[in-house]
Structure 1
Amino acid sequence: MDTFHKNRLFIASCLALITTAMTFAIRARLETVFGPEGVGLTLEQIGYAFTPAFFGFTLAMIFGGPLVDLLGIKKITWMAFVTHAIGIVWTIMADSMTSLFLATLFIGIGNGLVEAALNPLVASMYPEQKTKMLNRFHVWFPGGIVIGSLIGWLTMDVLGLSWQVMVTTLFIPLVIYGVLFFGQKIPVTERVKLGISNKEMIKSVTKPLFIFMVLCMFLTAASELGTTQRIESLLKTSVSSPLLVLAFINGIMALGRLFAGQVVHKLKPAGMLLYSAIFTLAGLWLLTITSGNMTFVAAAVFAVGVTFFWPTMLGFVAEYLPQTGALGLSIMGGAGMFSVSLVLPVMGKLMDNANAVEALRTMSILPAILIVAFIGLNIYMKKTSKA
Structure 2
Amino acid sequence: MKRAALSAVIAVVLADPAMAQESLIGMALPASPDNASMISVENSPELYDLGGLSAKAVTKYAGTKLGDAPYSGRGRHESEIYRALSPSVVIVATDDGIGSGSFIGSGDSVLTNWHVVKGFQKVGLVFKPPAEGSKPSEADIEIADVIKIDPGRDLALLRVAALPRDVKPIMLGAESDIQVGADVHAIGHPTGEAWTYTKGFISQYRKDYEWRDEEGSHKASVIQTQTPINPGNSGGPLLSDDGKLIGGNAFKAKGEALNFAISIADVQAFLAKAGQPIPIKPPATCKSVKLYEGRDRQEIATLVQYDTNCDGKPDYSFVTPDDRTKPISAHLDTNFDGKTDISVEDRNRDQKWDISFHDVDFDGKIDLVGYHPDGKLTPSRLEKYIPGTRY
Would you call these one fold, judging by a TM-score over 0.5?
no
Q: Whose RCO is larger (CA < 8 A, sep 6+)? A: 1
What TM-score results when the alignment is normalised by the length of structure 2? 0.25
Q: Which has the higher strand share?
A: 2
Higher helix share: 1
Larger radius of gyration: 2
